[in-house]
Amino acid sequence: MKIIDFKIYKVKPRWIFVKLITDENISGWGELVSGTKTETVVAGAYEIANRFLIGRDPFEIERLFQEMHRSFFRGGPINGTIVSGLEMALWDIKGKALGVPVYELLGGKARDKIKVYSWIGGDRPSAVVKEAQDRIDKGFQAIKMNATEELHYVDSFKKVDEVIERVAVLRDEFGDDLDIGIDFHGRVHKPMAKVLAKELEKFHPMFLEEVVLPENKEYYQVISNLVSTPLATGEREYTRWGFKSIFEQGAIDIIQPDVSLCGGILEMRKIIAMAESYDMAAAPHAPYGPIALAATLQVDVSSPNVFI
């Protein structure tokens, strides 16, 4: 079997899909991250697919991943999402050709159920209760919400109080029956992250996410030393090499690799397996389209340390 062609589709609201076509009439689909650099990602996908995939055997996934990844200037979000989308399309071809779900090729099922959460925004106290109730009515037992708007390096405690109010109304309404993940979204610098994390601890968050920007990851340890709340990060990291310092530091409790950015299905499986050896849980990041979600589920099902 050989790859003979590919097509790339830009689909609103923010999706980029790639279709790899083989000479045996089996096609595979992948998804790339869209957003502020959509045209750059699409142009790069054409270049990499033409250079590395046309005429190649789609079953040689590890070989093709290494060739696509190992440019002189490697890594980064643009190359990372291109390689990821093309890699998951290769797995789709292989699974279809062999007639099995991809998770069977990753070691088989490690679980029969997966806990999930739903995003509820989090900007207004009146809205969070309504949105949380809507998710509970749909069967969700966990939600995730924004913690705050962008904060200056040292900011007003009034803004901290506004965050506390939004979380407090959820605890008052639902008690501890509702699991609440709180995402700082990299909007907070170290001085205010310390304050905010400490103030939120009494509400028993499921986790605090991206308490500081990934480029300031040395401060994860500072926050971890202050609170008992699990800390999560990883959606903006790519490949297992991007996670090395996180594992070595030991401050993060939950890693969140994104299958459309970190290098694809097998790379995410490797990252999560590395996390298991450091006694870390995984909650893969999957906010995009249906193809990325389907790819994420293949890894979730086959990984014993995925908790949500």
State the catalytic residues: 185, 285
DSSP-based three-state secondary structure for 155:
coil
SS (H, E, C) 59-90: CCHHHHHHHHHCCCCCCCHHHHHHHHHHHHHH
Nearest to 88 by CA among 269, 274, 241, 234: 269
- CA distance linking residue 211 with residue 208, whole number of Å: 7
Neighbours of 260 (CB within 10 A): 32
Residue 175 DSSP symbol:
G
- CA distance linking residue 53 with residue 150, whole number of Å: 42
